[in-house]
Amino acid sequence: MAEGGRLAGRCAIVTGASSGIGAATARLLADEGAAVGLVARREAELRRVAAGLDRALVLPADVSDVGQVLGALDSAEAALGPVDIVVNCAGVIGPTPLAELTPELFDRTLAINLSGVFYLSREAGLRMRARHGGHIVTVASDLAATAMPGYVDYSASKAGLVGLTRGLAVELAPTVLVNAVAPGPVDTPMMDHELAADPDPQAAREATMRRVPLQRIAGPAEVARAILFLLTDASYTTGAVLALDGGVTALSRLSGDAT
């Protein structure tokens, strides 16, 4: 554990910790002194992330399964101590055209992206409130406020996540702070999966950059640093959604594409 880190003595759970934003966040929290429980379905990838961390616990679990989620929370607290930080990074994304978006696919997206966040945040949040302190951060998306073809289920889940974040913030105040970050395009394996669905993935990547006012795609570490800000320096912030989209939603609003 890093001595003197901003999160020294604290215990965190990070979902979706096997890659992308989740892995970057887990590494940063550990660098800042936190003990970290790593949650995802892919155990081998979790072990790879954990190998470089001090006081990291691998917790294979499907966040859409409430029993597995609560079991992971109990295991983390038994091994590492009371959890006072939860970062919900686990998620799935299409694209899936509406004609191919079956009820089963829609339900699966919401189960992972929204219900799974509720399961962990509700139980951990109630425990934090009983202990008089804690932080919860959710990872939403620019597509909570905008829309693109092929992302009906994803947009619905992330818009719901913004509402969930605000509801939890009000319920758990004043001792537990609950906020969200809303990234735009981020260079992760999940984004690679999205682009691979395009006939020309490189052209799709370039088109993605062109729609971002900052003209680039974010790195996972940039999102992790924003999450750390909410956990350390944003002491008068709860129920907020921090846009990390390079100006995508600002441009959409200016052009009348979003309200």
Sequence ranges of the domains in the chain: 11-186+220-249
pLDDT at 208: 85
Q: What percent of the chain has pLDDT over 90?
A: 84
pLDDT at 3: 61
pLDDT at 120 > cutoff 60? yes
3 state DSSP class of 169 = helix
Higher pLDDT, 255 or 10: 10
Q: Annotated catalytic, 154?
A: yes
Enter the tokens of residue 68.
């597995």
Architecture of domain 11-186+220-249: 3-Layer(aba) Sandwich (3.40)
pLDDT band at 84 (very low <50, low <70, confident <90, very high): very high
Q: What is the C-alpha separation between 160 and 43, in angstroms, rounded?
A: 28
pLDDT at 136: 98
**CA 192, 18, 214, 237: dihedral to nearest 10 degrees?**
150
Query: Which one is catalytic: 119, 151, 154, 236?
Result: 154
pLDDT at 105 > cutoff 90? yes
The mean pLDDT value for 228-244 works out to 97
Least confident of 31-45, 68-82, 170-184, 244-258: 244-258
Higher pLDDT, 191 or 158: 158
Q: What CA–CA distances, in Å, run from 161 to 30, 46, 66, 139, 180?
A: 26, 25, 17, 8, 9
Least confident of 157-166, 181-190, 216-225: 181-190
